[in-house]
Chain A
Amino acid sequence: MEALGLLLHGFAVLLTWKTLLLMMVGLVLGIFVGVLPGLGGPNGVAILLPLTFTMDPTSAIVMLSCIYWGALFGGAITSILFNIPGEAWSVATTFDGYPMAQQGKAAEALTAAFTSSFIGSLVAVLLITFLAPMISSFALKFGPPEFFAVYLLTFCSFVGLGRDAKHKTVISMSLGLSLAGVGMDTVSGQLRMTFGSADLLRGINFLVAVIGLFGISEILLTMEERLALRGHAAGISLRVVLSVWKDLPKYWVTLVRSSFIGCWLGITPGGAIAASFMGYNLAKRFSKDQASFGKGRIEGVFAPETAAHASGTSALLPMLALGIPGSGTAAILLGGLMVWGLNPGPLLFVEHKDFVWGLIASMYLGNVVGLVLVLTTVPIFASILRVPFAAVAPMIVVSCAIGAYAIQNAMFDIWLMLGFGVVGYVFKKIGIPLAPFTLALVLGNRAEDAFRLSMIGSGGDMKVFWSNGLVGSITTLAIILLFWPLIDRAFAGVSRLLRPAKA
């Protein structure tokens, strides 16, 4: 119970007017940053980092981490209202969130997204509070084969559990994997598929692709079909919020499952993106009514949001305890810590107790304050839907372009974004799912590196993926999930054969 005492001490450090004010400022800035596609958490934190140099470390990190929480909440808003994921991990939220908004249930979807973000983060913070020392040693067990197994699991669960035609998922994923190969290959140190272009050197940025594939293509589709955003701002009131909350206990299994996936993938730097997709797919898999997913089911919002936020929050743990950032934003925060003379590593928890527990306490407070703040502003965000499409569309395109440009300050990325917009439009027309493509684009590189490092280490022996209990069970699980539809059918067949025998 030492943790509890330290946590209370942390709260004591925080509960001053100045800190609470900084917290509010950070959250509002963060939500703003999260709403603009592309200009997500990492960029927001990076831009505002120098502001905090003159503050003391605790105030500074509280403000920065609140920008982070704000961005996490804000990312869901555009996903649901416009089908444009503000953050990479909000992609899975669009699957059911956007259909809900189209059916006039935007307020419910937003409430569901914010509430589940809160629950996910809360579970992760509780985990950090009580399990910090044990978990950092768990993360150390992950070498290249283990990392590859986790990525493989994500890919396989997509093929095996996804709702789309298998061959289309595989086509989409393969295209994503090949585009992920553009740029410098870290294992051989050679350039691939750059064709002598300096712009292609850095590879194809995932966020640029996401903004184009989802945002621009959605605008194109809307233009073609009818000149209106197909959503209506519903009557929003405390009643909506309460009714969503009342239904919450019904979905406890989904919430617990997603929190677990999120925490696991956050700690082993698998990332929030993989977590959100996995959370969504598993929720669908275990649902009794699978066909209703993707058509505006509230559970389809709960599952990815909870997982993404559990993962986003728990990603801070390996950063503090090991100095490995689990996400892009965590990496910028890491840079900040070093400026204030705090070196993340195993000794941070021993040498800078005030700071660490102040930060953990700020996670609790920041989330509570953040939830209240976003819920009270839901009506404002949802009312955007009432603005005529002709007025909103140019603004969306401009903000997409700014977002794409801001990621690497490169004009080339805007052209790339437009190109992906057309690709996304064509894919939607011919029914190729976009999600496997984006997943492969973001994880492809890491999966490839992990695989090749495993091969170098083992001298080319595939047995390395079954060399210990941890990696062996993840790999086996991945293969089972890949062939799940077949296994499922086999089981059904066997039980059908057995039933008459018993009767």
Chain B
Amino acid sequence: MTAVQGFCGFSKPNKEIGKKLVGQILRATATVAALLINAPAFAAWEPTKPVEIVVAAGAGGASDQMARMMQAAIQKNNLMKQPMVVSLKGGASGAEALMYMKSSEGDPNKVLIAYSLIYMLPLSAKIPFNWRDLTPVSVIALDQFVLWDNASGPKSVKDFIAAAKAASAPFKMGGTGSKREDHVLTVFMEQKTGAKFSYLPYKSGGEAATQLVGGHTESNVNNPSENLEVWRAGQVRALCVFDKERIAYKTKVTETQSWNDIPTCKEEGLDMQYLMLRAMFLPGKVTAEQQAFYADLFQKVTQTAEYKDYMEKQALKPIFLTGKDMIQFLEDDDKLNATLMNEAGFVAK
């Protein structure tokens, strides 16, 4: 499927070039010839410079950790000749990375590790960006959201909601960023349950985790990886996971619980689901061969022990989509996120 799309992408410039000067026609013919020669081996292209993996978040966050895992997996298993460098572009809540990718059109040595900000930021902050301007390579994982409270707080979702309703001041919900996934989930919890929360946007999931442990907030909706260590230390409690089914991993993580022991929110009477993509994008206007090279590279990464370990440790949902399947997924996901943002009233006018 990747090949077909790539081919379409190529025929267009050729037509345009054909209309211009003779010299350019000659050059274009040469390009076509070169293409035909290379055609049988599609993955023949290889990066000739170190590849930059662009992270749209700060140091130590979930995207950064994932980028470093891939960097290590590629280096240890010799999956690519050129080295891979992680470049943190978390400025402006990740908008910096998006604009950087947009302006790097045609540069095949930059890959973005994207998450739901690609749909949400253009809506909430009116950033001139559309993920369709980039070249999708593959979806490599889905991230879960879990409702957490302090270990000394209410023990079940029902008690938690009841306590939130009974409290004199609204419960404080910690999260990462304003008008983003965590904030959307908070608004929907309010709408579903009638309880009131005041949402505190911190700089990172790690900060939201420690603030919950210190008792400065009553709860958060962190990704599993962000609360993992404080959960293992028995400082927070996992109330429920925002997914249709429980997390698959059954190995004990804390003294008594595995990821699989966390009930779904639906089981607990709170019918809400949200999963977040983790996907790789190249800048716009790269060639099909370049796209194919990276699709193949990341497929190989998903087969390494490092990747599998990481998925289990951070309780991520393994998935691998590329080509047409990925486009379909992105379009559906985009629609869903746009609806959520609209309903929450977070779309800038």
Contacts and interface: CB of A to CB of B under 8 A. Distances in A.
A50 B69 CA distance: 11
Interface stretch (A78-86, A186-194, A431-439): A186-194
B31 to A, nearest CB: 31
Contacts of A143: 211, 214-216
Interface stretch (B37-45, B174-182, B289-297): B174-182
Interface string A327-348: 0100110111011000111110
A345 B177 contact: no
A347 B233 contact: yes
B59 to A, nearest CB: 4
Given A50-B75, A334-B59, A347-B232, A201 B216 contact: no
Contacts of B96: 201-202
Given A50-B71, A189-B201, A324-B207, A345 B92 contact: no
Interface string A165-190: 00000000000000000011111111
Given A140-B213, A346-B233, A459 B92 contact: no
Interface stretch (B83-91, B158-166, B267-275): B83-91
B60 A202 contact: no
A140 B210 contact: yes
A93 B31 CA distance: 60
A143 B76 CA distance: 41
Given A189-B93, A189-B125, A331-B59, A339 B69 contact: yes
B200 A190 contact: no
B94 to A, nearest CB: 9
B203 A186 contact: yes
B93 A190 contact: no
Contacts of B58: 331
Interface in B187-211: 198-203, 206-207, 209-211
Contact of B178 (A141, A188, A324, A408): A188
Given A347-B233, A457-B172, A201 B92 contact: yes
Contacts of A187: 178, 201
Contact of A53 (B75, B87, B172, B235): B75
A344 B89 CA distance: 23
A323 B183 CA distance: 23
A186 B201 contact: yes
Contacts of A498: none
A456 B65 CA distance: 31
A202 B126 CA distance: 15
Given A187-B178, A189-B124, A201 B95 contact: yes
Q: State the majority secondary structure of interface residues on B.
A: mixed
B60 A323 contact: yes
B103 interface: yes
A422 interface: no
A142 interface: yes
A191 B124 CA distance: 10
Q: Which of B124, B170, B229, B235 has its CB near the most chain A CB atoms (within 10 A)?
A: B229
Contact of A346 (B72, B85, B229): B229
Contacts of A449: 203
Contacts of B68: 335-336, 338-339
A244 interface: no
A32 B125 CA distance: 41
Contacts of A397: none
A191 B92 contact: yes
A332 B59 contact: yes
A459 B125 CA distance: 25
A212 interface: no
Contact of A453 (B93, B200, B232): B200
B348 A203 contact: no
B228 interface: yes
A323 B227 CA distance: 10
Contacts, number: 140
Contact of B91 (A139, A140, A202): A202
A144 interface: yes
B65 A325 contact: no
A170 B293 CA distance: 56
Contacts of B72: 53, 339
B99 interface: yes
B201 to A, nearest CB: 6
B169 interface: yes
Nearest to B97: A202
Nearest to B125: A191
Given A347-B229, A459-B169, A183 B91 contact: yes
Given A144-B216, A189-B178, A184 B92 contact: yes
Given A143-B211, A449-B203, A325 B59 contact: yes
Interface string A189-221: 111000000100111000000000000000000
A186 B91 contact: no
A334 B226 CA distance: 13
B214 A324 contact: no
Contacts of A345: 228-230, 232-233
A456 B199 contact: yes
B143 interface: no
B90 to A, nearest CB: 9
Nearest to B204: A324
A322 interface: yes
B64 interface: yes
Contact of A198 (B71, B85, B99): B99
Interface in A107-140: 139-140
B178 A186 contact: yes
Contacts of B60: 323, 325, 331, 334-335, 338
A347 B86 CA distance: 27
A365 to B, nearest CB: 26
Nearest to A47: B85
Contacts of B202: 453
Contacts of B200: 144, 453, 456-457
A138 B169 CA distance: 26
A184 B59 contact: no
A324 B103 CA distance: 33
A192 to B, nearest CB: 10
Interface in A401-449: 408-409, 449
A331 B214 CA distance: 21
A426 to B, nearest CB: 28
A408 B86 CA distance: 12
Interface in B115-146: 124-127
Given A201-B95, A323-B209, A338-B60, 7 more contacts: A50-B83, A54-B76, A184-B95, A187-B201, A188-B179, A338-B68, A345-B233
* Top 8 closest pairs, chain A to chain B, by CB: A345-B229, A202-B91, A143-B216, A189-B178, A184-B92, A331-B59, A140-B214, A346-B233
Interface of B: 58-60, 64-65, 68-69, 71-72, 75-76, 83-89, 91-93, 95-96, 99, 103, 124-127, 169-170, 172, 177-180, 183, 198-203, 206-207, 209-211, 213-216, 228-230, 232-233, 235, 346, 348
